[in-house]
Structure formats: C-alpha cells, structure tokens
C-alpha cells in the first residue's frame, strides 16, 4: 500500500488547488483499509476529490484516498464495485454488457463511494434506483452492511453522510437493455454536460450549491447577479451561475470568498440560504475556517 508524507494534493483535486497533507494512505483493497484503522485513530476518507476543496495551507492530519480501490465484477444483472472506482468507467463497462441504470454516471467525474454517499443522480436516474446494498465501516460499528432501505436516501444525501459512515463497496441490480439504447442515452447525457456544464479542462468542482427544494440554485444565483462575481484567480462561470472556475491559479481562500458572495447575494435577494455541495479539508487558515462556518461547511 502506498503511503505518502507531506503530500501535495493539489494535482489530484478538481479545483487544482490545495496544500500539503501530513500523511496520506492509498489503500488497494478492503483489507488495506482495515489495516489503516488499526494504526490510525483519526483520519478523513476521500475518493476522487471531485467535490472537495483542500486548503492551500494544507491539512495537519491523516487522509485516506481510495482511488486504488477500483475493482468491479459483473454477474448477470448484478454488479459489485469498490468505492474508488470512477463512475464513468463503471458506466461504460456495464453498457458493453447491455445493462441499464448507470447511464447518468458517464458524465460524472466522481467515484462509486462518493456517488452512493451523496445519492448522486441526473437525467431521471439516480443511485437509489439501482442500489442493492453497500459495505461500510465506522469507528463505532466496524465493518457492516446497509441495504438500500437502510440508506435513508433523500436529495443529495444518505444516512452515510449524516452518520459519517465510510462506503467501501456497493452492489447494484441493473436491467437488461439494448446496447444501442444505452449508448444513445449516455451520448445524450454527455452532450447535455458539454452544453450546460464547464469542461473538466477548466478546473471546477461541479455544482457548488445544492438545489433548494422546488427551486434551482443556478437560477437563483443568476437572478441575484452572481455571474459577474470574480475573486482573485477564480470566477463564476459565464454560462451557469452555480459553477466556479479556477482558470487563473486561484487558491482555496479565493474559492471560499466567492462562495460566500454567492451565498450572501441569494440570501439577501430571496431570503434563501443555499447549502454547499463542496466538502472542505483544512483548518490551518483562520479566514477559511470563519467562511466555512458561515457557509455551514464545518
């Protein structure tokens, strides 16, 4: 198992910003992960870091990154995948087998664990439609399994998010369909992403805020004037107000400051407090901590 000390994580994050983490583990299987829990009493777990903002002042703690836990198996319509597997890779693999239900993942940069953790979905499909169970770990319970009905899924959340359970693998039940229909749906999803969301070549973390119930964060932000916002090296994307682009070497403080401006303008105009989708890892920078508390990210 790969272990790094004083590891610069900036190249791994979607925002292309971040600092040094004191110690990082890269487990390759469940046994590796359990071995970490036996020697480390306090650590944070991340997957593909696709929706994580890491402080440019780094993190003085232990982090587990699960991207090397990326194996999967297909048995008929049953699919089992480890948490670090990238969603697009699994989506494409099951499509080749004529299995439908994960077409939406082809346009998502995240990993299986994170997508189950936050109940990812788009284009009329979601994780909760096809999930059978997840294998989890927590400090209090050790290893355990949760069935779909025990996941307490709701919009962009699950019991794993609320209780800080770590998802190690997931099992799905998919449906047989023609490869032509599956691939057509995947193409529609990719075309939609290319038209409505910034290219991954532009450093961004996807949607910044969750949609309030019955409303659109992007519409609220646009009507509040957020498309004009820029702070330091980051800016709100000109084509959709719920995306932040880091195309001028901005740092984590720039991103948090523009997030707070976005949050504040919607609250002032509509009386609605937007909730961030982005997770934060840091704590050494007082200004960042203050902004995270205001944004309820800590």
- Residues carrying an active site annotation: 156, 207, 277
Nearest Cα to Cα of residue 22 among 284, 254, 285 = 284
Structural contact between residues 27 and 68, judged by C-beta atoms closer than 8 angstroms: yes
Helix (H), strand (E), coil (C) string for 56-106: CCCEEEEEEECCCCCCEEEECCEEEEECCCEHHHHHHHHHHCCEECCHHHH
Backbone phi, psi, residue 117, to 5°: -55, -40
CA 131 to CA 76: how far, in whole Å? 15
User: In 154-298, which ranges are continuous DSSP H helix?
Assistant: 159-163, 179-196, 217-223, 252-270, 286-294
């Amino acid at each position: 198992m790969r272990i790094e000390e004083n590891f610069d994580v900036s190249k791994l994050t979607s925002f292309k910003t971040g600092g040094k983490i004191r110690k990082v583990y890269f487990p390759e299987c469940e046994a590796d992960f359990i071995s970490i829990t036996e020697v480390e009493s306090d650590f944070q777990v991340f997957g593909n870091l696709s929706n994580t903002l890491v402080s440019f002042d780094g993190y003085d703690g232990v982090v587990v990154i699960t991207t090397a836990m990326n194996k999967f198996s297909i048995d008929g319509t049953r699919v089992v995948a480890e948490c670090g597997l990238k969603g697009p890779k699994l989506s494409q693999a099951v499509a080749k087998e004529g299995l439908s239900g994960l077409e939406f993942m082809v346009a998502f940069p995240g990993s299986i664990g994170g997508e189950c953790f936050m109940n990812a979905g788009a284009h009329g499909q979601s994780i909760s439609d096809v999930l059978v169970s997840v294998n989890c770990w927590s400090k209090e319970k050790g290893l355990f399994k949760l069935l779909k009905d025990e996941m307490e899924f709701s919009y962009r959340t699950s019991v794993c998010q609320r209780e800080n359970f770590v998802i190690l693998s997931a099992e799905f039940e998919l449906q047989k369909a023609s490869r032509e229909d599956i691939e057509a749906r995947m193409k529609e999803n990719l075309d939609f992403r290319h038209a409505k969301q910034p290219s991954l070549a532009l450093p961004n973390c996807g949607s910044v805020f969750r949609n309030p119930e019955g409303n659109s964060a992007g519409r609220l932000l646009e009507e509040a004037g957020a498309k004009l916002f820029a702070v330091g090296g980051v800016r709100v994307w000109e084509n959709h107000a719920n995306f932040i682009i880091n195309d001028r070497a901005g740092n984590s403080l720039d991103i948090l400051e523009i997030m707070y401006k976005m949050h504040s303008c919607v609250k002032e105009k509509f009386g609605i407090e937007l909730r961030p989708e982005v997770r934060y890892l840091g704590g050494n920078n007082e200004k960042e901590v203050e902004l995270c508390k205001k944004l309820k990210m800590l």
